[in-house]
Structure 1
């Protein structure tokens, strides 16, 4: 395999790794948030359980000290059979109510502890995935350095801006296009979503965020999130996805052009839509 082909393959693999890393990072953030929520509920719930347990224990002790813990004691102190039945029913109701409340609290506590254990396991798995992807990234970057393909920020082949200026319509898509256009020339940085640098899905995510649309920080997940459209339906603001594994994405700006954050060592650029194999099109809604 010639050097240029090796470089192209290494760059493609690196971008795929970066997009997978972005997905795992987003998943880990969501898991961290859920774990924090569970932990925030467990503290107050433990306080409730302890209070209910103390109340139940105190009620039992009071009944014992009063001598009314058994039905015989109630019968002796009762003024009539009807009063005896009433007292028994009242004691039974109090006991059942307190026991039921305590049982309900402990059940809720058990459910939260189960969730906490599951989330903690998931969190560790995601951290492991993130570390493995980071190691893979470092390996590919070392390979690129050996091949002479890693370098500082530069303009990619072709112009950052070929002179075309899109129409900035006064709607969500227009705001997304305007944002992307204003980022031309900024440096690509993997995992970044602004304000000074971006990776590919970070750029499209940030562009549509200005229009009030939330997208995941991952090209493949963005493709799953948006409304699928055909090439003939393309309008400015739509997303264009690249490569079979959907490891790259750009934003369509009209006249057969996209704006995209290319790869490490390059700057956000304007390109013709078919500069790489297209995997599909989508419209954020």
Structure 2
């Protein structure tokens, strides 16, 4: 007669339990992902995208100027280290030369000093020649003492230079770390801006670019200037022709119109904002610092009402943007990533001050 008892169930093994738990967690994660996708961030309007992107570009430019300052310090530290290493190598060569000379003299004295002076005089075929040679050896002894002092001095100098080089190397590495940090910040801000713009449809992107005068290629340098907020357009002024340094700087900036903005660049094929003003005044024989926040102190401050072509005009509370004034309330500047060097009204950004290089 067949048994009707229920078959005995085998307990789950440890591996089976773990597998079941993994599948349960995977299912929960999948459900959460679907729930998250249904609650995605609402689509931003072009106006909202522009507001966020403008802020990101402003923050990126501030970080870019910090990068420029850190790069200048790192380059200076590298040059200083290279010069110190050259000095150390030259001093080491002189040390080795002094050591070789001292070794040769010591070997000569050792060979000639096998017998005492009295016995050498007795055995000498020419006593007068011996006496002359003995006097020469006395002088050589004095020289060997001086050579020994030279070797000791060179050793001390090489040790000091090597210790100083180690300090310079540590300083260089710190500057390079700061440089990399600012670079990551700039690239992160620009990537965030790119992601925001990529969320726009083609129609929305066209509307955004129509609202943003700094996007796309530069406008032609002739004809009416782009309208500023609440400002009547005016004609672009021609470069001054008086041959002054300011005129040469303005002429250089006019020649750069249309070249792309590349952060960290000082020309000749591309520029960032402070790289453009530095290059323009360099063409006129005037050396400016590298960053916006140092350029504003390189010259005489001038009031907005007293601006003249060639003056440096600065914007934002952190002094993070600079342009070159060309007259009629306009400047030439390198706006931001994705744009080109162009003419723009100076009242298109928050005013911070102006400087006249000299």
TM-score where L is the length of structure 2: 0.68
Greater RCO between the two (CA within 8 Å, min separation 6)? 1
The Cα of 1:21 is off from its aligned counterpart by: 1.1
Match of 1:179 in 2: 252
The Cα of 1:220 is off from its aligned counterpart by: 1.3
Following the alignment from structure 2 to structure 1, what is the Cα–Cα distance between the partners of residues 295 and 111?
68
Match of 1:247 in 2: 320
Pick from 224, 227, 230 the counterpart of residue 300 of structure 2: 227
- Partner-residue secondary structure (3-state), 2:354: strand
Match of 1:138 in 2: 187
**Are residue 197 (structure 1) and residue 246 (structure 2) matched?**
no
The Cα of 1:248 is off from its aligned counterpart by: 1.0
Count of aligned positions = 279
Q: Output one character per residue of 1:199-257: Cα deviation in whole Å (capped at 9) or x when no partner.
A: 10111011111111222331112223333333344321111122222111111112222
**Are residue 28 (structure 1) and residue 77 (structure 2) matched?**
no
Are the aligned partners of 2:237 and 2:328 in contact in 1 as well (CA < 8 Å)? no
The Cα of 1:123 is off from its aligned counterpart by: 1.8
Change in CA separation of 1:137 and 1:40 when aligned onto 2, cut-off 3 Å: same
Pick from 237, 246, 250 the counterpart of residue 165 of structure 1: 237
- Partner-residue secondary structure (3-state), 1:224: coil
**Are residue 38 (structure 1) and residue 38 (structure 2) matched?**
no
Please say which structure displays the higher CA radius of gyration. 2
Match of 1:97 in 2: 146
Match of 2:229 in 1: none
Structure 2 residue runs of 5 or longer lacking an equivalent are 1-47, 122-126, 200-204, 226-234
The Cα of 1:275 is off from its aligned counterpart by: 2.0
Q: Output one character per residue of 1:51-106: Cα deviation in whole Å (capped at 9) or x when no partner.
A: 1012112223322333399xxx5688799xxx9xx889745532331122223322
- Partner-residue secondary structure (3-state), 1:55: helix
Match of 2:62 in 1: 16
Change in CA separation of 1:47 and 1:88 when aligned onto 2, cut-off 3 Å: closer
Change in CA separation of 1:68 and 1:238 when aligned onto 2, cut-off 3 Å: farther
Are the aligned partners of 2:237 and 2:327 in contact in 1 as well (CA < 8 Å)? no
Structure 1 residue runs of 5 or longer lacking an equivalent are none
Are the aligned partners of 1:190 and 1:264 in contact in 2 as well (CA < 8 Å)? yes
Are the aligned partners of 2:264 and 2:272 in contact in 1 as well (CA < 8 Å)? yes
The Cα of 1:188 is off from its aligned counterpart by: 1.4
Are the aligned partners of 2:252 and 2:283 in contact in 1 as well (CA < 8 Å)? yes
Change in CA separation of 1:259 and 1:211 when aligned onto 2, cut-off 3 Å: same
Match of 2:100 in 1: 54
Pick from 184, 188, 197 the counterpart of residue 148 of structure 1: 197
Change in CA separation of 1:256 and 1:179 when aligned onto 2, cut-off 3 Å: same
Following the alignment from structure 2 to structure 1, what is the Cα–Cα distance between the partners of residues 279 and 292?
13
Are the aligned partners of 2:61 and 2:186 in contact in 1 as well (CA < 8 Å)? no
